[in-house]
Structure 1
Amino acid sequence: MNKETLQSIVDDLRAGRTPRLSPEDFPCFSAEALEGNQHVDPSYLDVVAASLTTADVPTFECALRAMDEGDLAWLGFKVVYDAAEAQANTDNEVTKKYGETGSADGEPLVFFCNDAKEIVASRPFSPRDTFQMKDATRGPSMHNEQFEGLTWLSVPLFEQVRVWLLGASDAASEVAALADHVGFAVCVVDYDPAYVSEARFPRARRIVLDGGNFDGLAELACAPEDYVCVLTRGHMFDPEGCVWATGHHAHYVGMMGCAGKNDRVHELVLAAGATEEDWARVKRPIGLKFGAKTPAELAIAIVAELVDVRYRQRYSDEARERHEKSLGR
């Protein structure tokens, strides 16, 4: 999401014009995101655009403000494919009761919702709508298709966490696919273009280093909020990866490998000028512990850990405690 698009929509609505909404700007409506969904296709954005009025300006202004402030917030869409069903009361004996009505109406709606569960929309919404709007904060939503006649989509108004994969190993290829799927921006680095290929990393940013080694890594820089996974092929350049990541103070650094190999990496990392404090920041072995062995299994362990790190980074102890308690954990 970019601010220029949101500002253009605000300007159009204030001028009485119908704004142009595209899947490029709202990727939750892309053909890829909607693949297999028989109830909605990218053309529904035209329906949404035609429904917008000056009353929707505050919704988009809230989105702009959230982007300025770095708030955890989403712009959401109520998508109606059967108005009568959408408004029907379909509560059952399993789900929580949300009153005697279903959705407040059978029309599309754009809404703003942040992690504090503040909702802004141009029309009144029902208790059941509120439940599903709040779930937009679970990105894109947890119960978007729970009720008949409508579904819910959303786009985040905050930046993705960038994950650097140092090494284009088989495990890295699996990590890239999973990390992208759960909302990380992935960048893979290696010196062999045969491994850093589009076929192996179709959605990642791909960087090929010159010289047949990782010396060129020194010309790159990661941000302190980035995550780094050291997964070099054969572990040949793990020391360089650890030194680079800790030297840039990456928020998270993890390295794959056994204890014996890691002892040798430790020696080489210190010899390259890193400190014991730097080494202590490297999670080793990378990933959650549950018996993963194959590249695909290791990727699940690694990405699960990345999700947990992101969760702890974004939410306070108090917020996490409330969340865990709500789940009965």
Structure 2
Amino acid sequence: MNKAVLQSIIDDLKAGKTPLLSTDDFPCFSAEALAGNSHVAPDYLDVIAKSLTEADIPTFERAIRAVDEGDLAWLGFKVIYDAAEAQRNTDNEVTKKYGDQGSADGEPLVFFCNDAKEIVSSRTPSPRDTFQMKDVTRGPSMHNEQFEGLTWRSVALFDQVHVWLLGASDVASELSALAIHVGFKVTVVDYDPAYISEERFPDAARIELPGDNFDGLDEYHAVPADYVCVLTRGHMFDPESCVWAVRHNVHYVGMMGCKGKNTTVHDLVTSRGVTEEQWESIKRPIGLKFGAKTPAELAIAIVAELIDVRYKERYSDEARERHEQSLGR
């Protein structure tokens, strides 16, 4: 989230102006994000903008502080499509009881919520609202469509994890689509235009290296927060890719390959200055183990592992402990 956007909203509200909210800044209201949802349209952002007052300034100020602090936090939106229905109590014998009240009111609302379940909003939510507002921490939410008359949207105040796919293999093509779908930012790298085409990677950033090898990879730089998946075709450039990832000290690096290939890559990688400790930090083979064989199945296994790594990295020790217990591990 761009702090300047949040500050401009604050400035407009202080000046008594209606801020301009764009789907570029709040992509949860884009046509792509709302595809198939007849209850919400991108122009609902105009409804939200007109509903904002000076009382909403603390919400946006808290969001700016979260950006500055790198907090795991979201800016959330209550979307009303039937005010009377939204306020009706629709709990039943299956749902947890939240009292006799449904939503606190039939008006849109912008709110702040973080992983610590801190909520900041201009109006007091009902208990049921609070339940759904906290649910944005599941990124963005799991129960946003549970009750009639309203729904919930949110935008993260923290950066996406950047995943590098080194090699434009069939697995990488399947992986790219899945990783983007679950919120990763993806860059794919290869030298062959036939493989690194827009058709195979329509939503990823693409880097086409010069020549017919991975020598040009050294011209590009990862940061320690990035993840790297080594997926070169035929494992031909796995050594160069592993060395590159280790030298950039990325948070996660995984490599495909059988035991025999790993031994060969090990010898080539360590001959280029990678230590045994660094080699052992490379996840081999990449992905969770559940019998995946085809490119699509392998992509699912890898994305599942990336999600697990991201979850462990982002959430507090207390939150992870609770979740790990619920997973039975």
Q: TM-score, normalised by structure 2?
A: 0.98
1:141-220 maps to which residues of 2 (within 5 A)? 141-220=141-220
Question: Could you tell me which residue of structure 2 aligns to residue 33 of structure 1?
Answer: 33
CA distance in 1, matches of 2:85, 2:235: 56
Deviation per residue, 1:216-273 (Å, 9 max, x gap):
0111111111100000011110010001101111110100111111111111111222
* AA in 2 matched with 1:222: A
The answer for the alignment partner of 2:296 in structure 1 is 296
Which letter does structure 2 place at the counterpart of 1:49? A
How far apart are 1:155 and its partner, in Å? 0.2
2:245 corresponds in structure 1 to 245
* Separation (CA, whole Å) in 1 of partners of 2:315 and 2:138: 13
1:222-301 to structure 2, matched below 5 A, reads: 222-301=222-301
CA distance in 1, matches of 2:224, 2:22: 33
One-letter amino acid of the counterpart of residue 237, structure 2: F
* SS of alignment partner, residue 290 of structure 2: coil
What is the rounded CA distance, in whole Å, between the counterparts of 1:230 and 1:22 in structure 2?
Answer: 37
Q: Which amino acid aligns with 2:85?
A: E
The equivalences for 1:45-194 within 5 A come to: 45-194=45-194
Mapped partners of 2:27, 2:271: distance in 1? 46
Per-residue deviation, 1:23: 0.7
Give deviations 1:147-180, integer Å, cap 9, x for gaps. Answer: 0000000000001111000000010011111111
Q: Secondary structure at the match of 2:300?
A: helix
CA RMSD of aligned residues (A): 1.1
Give the Å deviation of 1:95.
1.2
Q: Give the Cα–Cα distance (whole angstroms) in 1 for the partners of residues 319 and 147 of structure 2.
A: 28
Letter in structure 1 aligned against 2:304: A
CA offsets, 1:296-317, max 9 Å, x none? 0000000000010111111243
Summarize deviations over 1:179-202 as a string: whole Å, max 9, x none: 111111111000112211111111
1:326 offset after TM fit, Å? 5.6
AA paired with 1:236? M
Q: Give a deviation string over 1:5-26, Cα, whole Å, max 9, x none.
A: 1111000000000000011110
Contact 2:115–2:315 (CA under 8 A) maintained in structure 1: no
Deviates further, 306-315 or 284-293 = 306-315
Unaligned runs of 5+ in 2: none
CA-CA distance at 1:320 after TM superposition: 1.0
Q: Post-superposition shift, 1:318?
A: 2.7
Equivalent residues, number? 329
State the Cα distance separating 1:328 from its structure 2 match: 7.5
Structure 1 residue 327 displacement after superposition: 6.8
Distance 2:98 2:222 in 1: 46
1:96-140 Cα shifts (integer Å, max 9, x gaps): 101100000000000000110000011111000000000011111
Give TM-score, length-normalised by structure 1.
Answer: 0.98
Aligned partners of 1:229, 1:328: CA distance in 2, in Å? 28
Runs (5+) with no aligned partner, structure 1 = none
Query: How far 1:323 moved relative to its partner?
Result: 2.6
Partner of 1:6: 6
Cα distance in 2 for residues equivalent to 1:218 and 1:21:
40
1:207 to 1:146, Cα distance in 2 relative to 1, 3 A:
same
The structure-2 alpha-carbon separation of the partners of 1:316 and 1:217, relative to structure 1 and needing over 3 Å to count, comes to same
TM-superposed deviation, 1:324:
3.8
SS of 1:283's equivalent in the other structure is coil
Aligned with 2:178: secondary structure?
A: helix
Quick one: structure 1 residues 265 and 180, their matched pair in 2 at CA, closer, same or farther if it must change by over 3 Å?
A: same
Aligned residue number for residue 21 of structure 2: 21
Q: Give the Cα separation in 1 of the matches to 2:318 and 2:104.
A: 33
Q: 1:225 to 1:4 in 2, by over 3 A?
A: same
Q: How far did 1:325 drift? A: 4.1
Q: Which residue identity is paired with 2:241?
A: G
- Residue 322 (structure 1) shift: 1.7
Residue 156 of structure 2 aligns to which amino acid in structure 1? Answer: P
Q: The residue matched to 1:79 in structure 2 has which SS?
A: strand
Amino acid at match of 1:162: H
